[in-house]
């Protein structure tokens, strides 16, 4: 374990400057970055802070921690219809960091920069006696006035989600409870799947363009499908109706459902999905589905938007489910 | 002490939404902000992370902690010639935070937003078991291609600093050593002055315009006058010469100098000044000084830029001072 901890300037030169490829980063030789959106585009900015013990486990692989910190921000950009452009990173190193750890952390960033076409623009590194904390501000570009908000859902819209729901929350349950996978009778590959979905969000940047073209409203699902649906309903001053039978599930989540319905509902609303919830006008929903599929980001119709004042109702076989009574979810 | 800790949405509504006055913030109802620089302007972005026990004392007044976190970022913008426009804030609340504490923290932000014409655009709040941490990404605007870099200093330029140097470092010494003020024979008002300079940086946003019009290079002094001078010399591939006799001093620092030269040198290079070091072509230095004074931000000529390769030399009565031998400063 090498631990010849370099000073701030050496840190920048050795670890961070190689990640800074946009001319606006000034090669990280300055205290600031300079940039402008391309003509005809707006900038979209988002910020998420991740802390050890809250958003990841301190002993997770450094590459995975880096990827998660970046990806949760890219997920927000995608939901707004924006293509990622760059990010600033505030890194509070934990007391026992090593150069090996930082090397792996930066390799994780580099791999994701290549995968998602994004580059480091600037930031700040501090050392504190506290646990690791990563604060990323990500910037994306969207055509002028075409950013998608969570407040734009309209009665008559169709609700869609990308990917499958509940996997990450099941992965977290498995991390916290060594018996979870066995009691749910998951296969080895299902177990791997939920672990991976918890560890590594998959930001749906491939949906940016279809969202900005067709969606009235969108947001990424980080708090949980029902909780975030409720957030969209309130922000848009409409009611949302979700058909439980339509929510797309992985094999692992289908198995959880068949073994323990309560655990399954918990997973569906557990959050950390980083899938997109989108509200699309009925007449555009066909082309939206098609373009999403063409972008390798299939979406599933899960419900509809109705006149109302911020309620979310979940239906099963056309009857309302009482989530509060059945699963103890608040606010339902 | 009230401690009815609200949930995230209540936090945003009660504390942060009133700080978000730019339409691009979307009233903090979304996961992202949307904005673009005005036509003909570039955006300048900077990020500083502050942690309790590293950059401030945990029991400092919440208003002062908020102001410091914002101001160190505004100082970076000013040094680049940019006028502040907005900021995103990542706030990791300490384990024992209270609503009273947060109320005062936000009052501090509100006061500085009014003073510096800047507004909250977005952010993220988390709760961790660690100490308070604040990560701010600040955005400013500067005329296209007119951002001032630290790498632009040219042989023949005149070096200027704003304000006075060493006060904040003296204030920190006084915080750490209860005998400091008495042993330096500071008056009560001098003692107040250095405490205040440590607690509350004064970002020189009033210098943004003169800097962007006249300076070849600029940076704010956060690491220390000599250390940051050296950074500018290296970034610009020139040598810098600073006349110690010309460095502007407050009454307090003059008294420290007359009592203990070593402590004085330590303060001069102690950092946390958040004054501006600027390199201005000789022929523009007259109008730069005049416009700075007109903006209530007087600057003092402290040295010159010479051909070279990144050395900084400090002179006193025209002879070089050996800072390494005399004060133990590394890299000199």
- pLDDT above 90 as % of chain B: 83
For residues B27-53, average pLDDT = 91
Please say whether the beta carbons of A149 and A234 come within 8 A: no
The whole-chain average pLDDT of chain A stands at: 94
A-chain CB neighbours of B46 within 8 Å are 31-33, 122
Task: Give the position of tokens 């509940």.
Answer: A166
Largest CA distance in chain B: 63
Q: Is A76 in CB contact (< 8 Å) with chain B?
A: yes
Nearest residue of chain A to residue B125 (CA atoms): A49
Q: How far, in Å, CA of A131 to CA of B189, rounded? A: 40
CB contact under 8 A, A43 and B35: yes
Residue A4's pLDDT band, with cuts at 50, 70 and 90, is: low
Q: Which residues have CB under 8 Å from A106's CB, separation 6+? A: A15, A16, A18, A19, A66
> Where is average pLDDT lowest: A66-70, A166-170, B23-27?
B23-27
Q: How far, in Å, CA of B287 to CA of A235, rounded? A: 52
Q: Is B39 helix (H, G, I), strand (E, B) or coil?
A: coil
Residues 209-248 in A contacting B (C-alpha not used; CB under 8 Å): 219-220, 231, 235
What is the residue-wise DSSP string for B155-197? TTPEEEEES-SSHHHHHHHHHH-TTHHHHTT--HHHHHHHHHH
Q: Is A28 in CB contact (< 8 Å) with chain B?
A: no
Query: What pLDDT sits at residue A193?
Result: 98
Which runs of E-coded beta strand occur in chain B?
33-35, 41-51, 83-93, 119-127, 133-143, 158-162, 217-220, 238-243, 276-280, 299-307, 312-316, 319-320
Higher pLDDT, B112 or B330: B112
Among B92, B122, B131, beta carbon nearest to A45: B122
CB contact under 8 A, A30 and B235: yes
A228-248 residue pLDDT tens: 999 999 999 999 999 999 999
CB contact under 8 A, A131 and B130: yes
- Backbone region of residue B318 per phi and psi (left: phi > 0; alpha: psi in -120 to 50; beta: other values): left
Query: What pLDDT sits at residue B241?
Result: 98
Residue B27's pLDDT band, with cuts at 50, 70 and 90, is: confident
CB contact under 8 A, A42 and B30: no
Residue B21 has pLDDT above 90, yes or no: no
**In Å, how far is B263's CA from the nearest CA of chain A?**
24
Q: Is A32 in CB contact (< 8 Å) with chain B?
A: yes
Mark B22-59 as b/e (b = at least 16 C-beta within 10 Å): bebbbebbbbbbbbbbeeebbbbbbbbbbbbebbbbee
CA dihedral B185, B190, B194, B199 (to 10 degrees): 130
B-chain CB neighbours of A271 within 8 Å are none
Q: How far, in Å, CA of B104 to CA of B118, rounded? A: 18
**In Å, how far is A202's CA from the nearest CA of chain B?**
17
Joined together, the tokens standing for residue A96 give 């026992």
Nearest residue of chain A to residue B127 (CA atoms): A54
A303-319 residue pLDDT tens: 999 999 999 999 999 99
CB contact under 8 A, B51 and A76: no
Query: What pLDDT sits at residue A6?
Result: 75
Query: What pLDDT sits at residue A268?
Result: 97
Query: What pLDDT sits at residue B4?
Result: 59
Residue A1 has pLDDT above 60, yes or no: no
Q: How far, in Å, CA of A94 to CA of B131, rounded? A: 12
Q: Is A77 in CB contact (< 8 Å) with chain B?
A: yes
DSSP state of B201: -
> Where is average pLDDT lowest: A2-6, A27-31, A36-40, A214-218?
A2-6
B155-170 residue pLDDT tens: 999 999 999 999 999 9
Q: Give the residue from B332, B308, B328, B76 showing the smallest Cα distance to B207.
A: B76
A100-131 residue pLDDT tens: 999 999 999 999 999 999 999 999 999 887 78
Residue B3's pLDDT band, with cuts at 50, 70 and 90, is: very low
Residue A299 has pLDDT above 90, yes or no: yes
Nearest residue of chain B to residue A30 (CA atoms): B150
Q: Is A310 in CB contact (< 8 Å) with chain B?
A: no
Residue A36 buriedness (CB in 10 A; 0-12 / 13-18 / 19+): middle
Query: What pLDDT sits at residue A3?
Result: 47
Residues 39-68 in A contacting B (C-alpha not used; CB under 8 Å): 41-51, 53-55
Q: Is the ipTM of this complex over 0.85?
A: yes
A-chain CB neighbours of B77 within 8 Å are 32
Higher pLDDT, B39 or B250: B250
B-chain CB neighbours of A139 within 8 Å are 45
**In Å, how far is A128's CA from the nearest CA of chain B?**
7
Nearest residue of chain B to residue A222 (CA atoms): B31
B212-228 residue pLDDT tens: 999 999 999 999 999 99
What is the residue-wise DSSP string for B144-157? TT----TT---TTP
Nearest residue of chain A to residue B9 (CA atoms): A231
For residues A45-57, average pLDDT = 94
Q: Where are the alpha helices (DSSP H) in B3-160?
A: 8-11, 62-79, 99-116
Query: What pLDDT sits at residue A178?
Result: 94
B94-123 residue pLDDT tens: 888 999 999 999 999 999 999 999 999 999
- pLDDT above 70 as % of chain B: 98
For residues A172-193, average pLDDT = 97
- CA distance readout (Å), A309 to A152, A218, A223, A232: 13, 18, 21, 11
Q: Is B179 in CB contact (< 8 Å) with chain A?
A: no
B270-299 residue pLDDT tens: 999 999 999 999 999 999 999 999 999 999
For residues A92-101, average pLDDT = 91
For residues B316-326, average pLDDT = 92
Q: Which value, in Å, is the radius of gyration of the alpha carbons in chain B? A: 21
Joined together, the tokens standing for residue A239 give 């009611």
Domains identified in chain B and CATH numbers: 8-143 (3.30.1330.10), 158-327 (3.90.650.10)
Q: How far, in Å, CA of B186 to CA of B179, rounded? A: 11
A61-70 residue pLDDT tens: 999 999 999 9
């Amino acid at each position: 374990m090498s631990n010849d901890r370099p000073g701030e300037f050496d840190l920048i030169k050795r670890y961070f400057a190689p990640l800074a490829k946009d001319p606006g980063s000034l090669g990280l030789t300055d205290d600031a970055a300079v940039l402008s959106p391309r003509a005809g585009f707006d900038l979209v900015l988002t910020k998420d802070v991740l802390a050890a013990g809250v958003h990841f486990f301190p002993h997770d692989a450094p590459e995975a921690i880096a990827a998660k910190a970046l990806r949760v921000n890219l997920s927000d950009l995608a939901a707004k219809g924006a293509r990622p452009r760059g990010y600033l990173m505030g890194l509070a190193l934990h007391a026992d960091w090593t150069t090996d750890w930082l090397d792996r952390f930066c390799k994780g960033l580099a791999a994701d920069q290549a995968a998602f076409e994004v580059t480091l623009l600037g930031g700040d590194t501090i050392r504190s006696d506290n646990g690791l904390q990563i604060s990323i501000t990500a910037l994306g570009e969207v055509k002028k006035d075409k950013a998608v908000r969570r407040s734009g859902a309209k009665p008559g819209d169709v609700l869609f989600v990308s990917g499958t729901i509940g996997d990450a929350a099941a992965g977290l349950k498995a991390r916290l409870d060594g018996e979870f996978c066995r009691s749910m009778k998951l296969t080895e590959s299902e177990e791997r799947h939920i672990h991976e979905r918890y560890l590594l969000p998959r930001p749906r940047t491939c949906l940016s363009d279809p969202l900005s073209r067709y969606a009235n409203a969108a947001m990424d699902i980080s708090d949980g499908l029902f909780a975030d649906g409720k957030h969209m309903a309130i922000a848009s001053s409409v009611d949302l109706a979700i058909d439980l039978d339509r929510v797309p599930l992985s094999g692992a989540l289908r198995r959880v459902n068949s073994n323990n319905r309560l655990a399954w509902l918990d997973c569906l609303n557990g959050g950390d999905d980083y899938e997109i919830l989108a509200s699309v006008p009925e007449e555009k929903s066909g082309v939206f589905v098609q373009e999403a599929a063409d972008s390798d980001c299939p979406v599933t119709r899960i419900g509809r938007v109705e006149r109302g004042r911020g309620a979310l109702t979940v239906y099963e076989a056309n009857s309302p489910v009482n989530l509060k009574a059945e699963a103890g979810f608040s606010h339902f």
